Structures are given as structure tokens and as C-alpha cells.
A and B are shown apart, each in its own frame.
Chain A
Amino acid sequence: GENVEQHPSTLSVQEGDSAVIKCTYSDSASNYFPWYKQELGKRPQLIIDIRSNVGEKKDQRIAVTLNKTAKHFSLHITETQPEDSAVYFCAARGEGSGNTGKLIFGQGTTLQVKP
């Protein structure tokens, strides 16, 4: 089955700097790669996603890139702010029909943005 590895496990940056979180996946049939943000004590919430027919996607200060050949994808946050401090999870959807295949998550990255 699908396996998702996420690095680093913790990341500390100064406010205004950029942050990059990387994930690799094992199942070449995976076609959907979302990123979730989880604030302390809260539920995970989707912040951006990318599908396998696209190489890059941006939404204001966040962007995701996908390299299908290497089977890795990355989250880029620019101009970080203290409110970006949270745990970030990458995920990949493995085998399954349409959009109903199971979603497998990485181990998470705790991002700390220092004021």
C-alpha cells in the first residue's frame, strides 16, 4: 500500500522567512496530494492540494510543487507569520476508484515561526 514520508519533523524559522516541507510517496498510482494544517487542539484543515496532472499550484503565500517522476511533493510558505505556527501534514491518495481511494498521511511537521 501507499507510504508517505515527511521531513523535517520540526522546523523553526524567523518571521518573514520561507519554510519548505517535503514529502515522498511510494505508490506511483497516487493522483491527489493535499496538505493539511492543524493548530494546537484543533482539527486538521485543508490548506492546499494538487493533482497529478499539475506540477505546481499557488494560493497567496503558500505553494505546492509535485514531481511525479521522483514521487515527491513539497509545501512552500513564503513571508511566514506567527499564525503559520502549526503542525502540517502532507497526504497522498493511493489506489481506489475515482476520488474515493484512501488518503494516507505523512508523520507531520511542527512549524514554529518566531516573531
Chain B
Amino acid sequence: NAGVTQTPKFQVLKTGQSMTLQCAQDMNHEYMSWYRQDPGMGLRLIHYSVGAGITDQGEVPNGYNVSRSTTEDFPLRLLSAAPSQTSVYFCASSYGGTNTGELFFGEGSRLTVL
């Protein structure tokens, strides 16, 4: 199993450009989420999904869109990039149900917005 795969690993954008961060998992996890990591601010939840066709907002959703058309994929879209969105982005997934809550993280995507 590849686990959680994120692409791209690095990206530089200009202010106002749009882009999509891809996330795929091959563990048949129901739950998927996106976090951003900034120095001194920990991991902040952007959006999450408890299953295909279901998404919800996290702590910092503004400027980002998500969709969950399949169990495997959970792309994060930046609609009009701003310098404040410069960050490291992590996709993470876990089983649903009552057996476990462990989040499995992707390797991260470092985004710079100029």
C-alpha cells in the first residue's frame, strides 16, 4: 500500500493564481482531511470529509474548496492564491467507525505564494 499520496510536493504560485493539491489514499479510509502547518500555529484543519459526497469546514476554510467524489481522492483547491496561503499542507486519512481514530498523513506539500 502507498498510504496517503500528495502531489505536488512543492509549488510556487503568483498571487491570484489557482491550483489544486491532490490527495489519494489506498487504505479504503472513510475519513479524509486537509491541514495547513504554519510556524507556531500547529496543524489547523481546513476541510474534512467523512465519506464520499460529504464534506465540511474545519477551522480555516476560507479561500479553499474541496470535493469528495470517490472514497480514494480528496483534492484541495485554492481559488485565488494569496501570500497568506503560503504554508505546508498535509492531507490525512483514517478509518471511520469505532475501531480507530489514528490519522495517517501524507508527506506534505509546500506551497509558496508570491
B-binding residues in A (CB < 8 A):
1, 6, 9, 32, 34, 36, 43-46, 49, 89, 91, 93, 96-100, 102-108
Contacts and interface: CB of A to CB of B under 8 A. Distances in A.
Given A36-B103, A44-B90, 15 more contacts: A9-B40, A43-B90, A43-B106, A44-B103, A49-B101, A91-B43, A97-B50, A99-B94, A99-B96, A103-B33, A104-B59, A105-B42, A106-B42, A108-B40, A108-B43
Give the interface size bracket for B toward A: 20 to 34
B73 interface: no
Contact of A98 (B33, B45, B97): B97
Listed residue (B43, B56, B102) with the most chain A CB atoms within 10 angstroms of its CB: B43
B56 A108 contact: no
Contacts of B100: 99
Interface string B19-40: 0000000000011010100001
Interface of B: 30-31, 33, 35, 40-45, 48, 50, 56, 58-59, 90, 94-103, 105-108
30 contacts: A34-B101, A34-B103, A43-B108, A44-B43, A44-B90, A44-B103, A44-B105, A45-B105, A46-B102, A49-B102, A93-B101, A98-B98, A99-B98, A99-B99, A100-B30, A100-B31, A100-B50, A100-B96, A102-B45, A102-B56, A103-B33, A103-B45, A103-B101, A104-B59, A105-B35, A105-B42, A105-B43, A107-B40, A107-B42, A108-B42
A72 B44 CA distance: 20
A107 B56 contact: no
Contacts of A32: 101
Contacts of B56: 102
A36 to B, nearest CB: 8
A45 B105 CA distance: 7
B101 A99 contact: yes
Contact of B95 (A96, A99, A105, A106): A99
Contacts of B94: 99
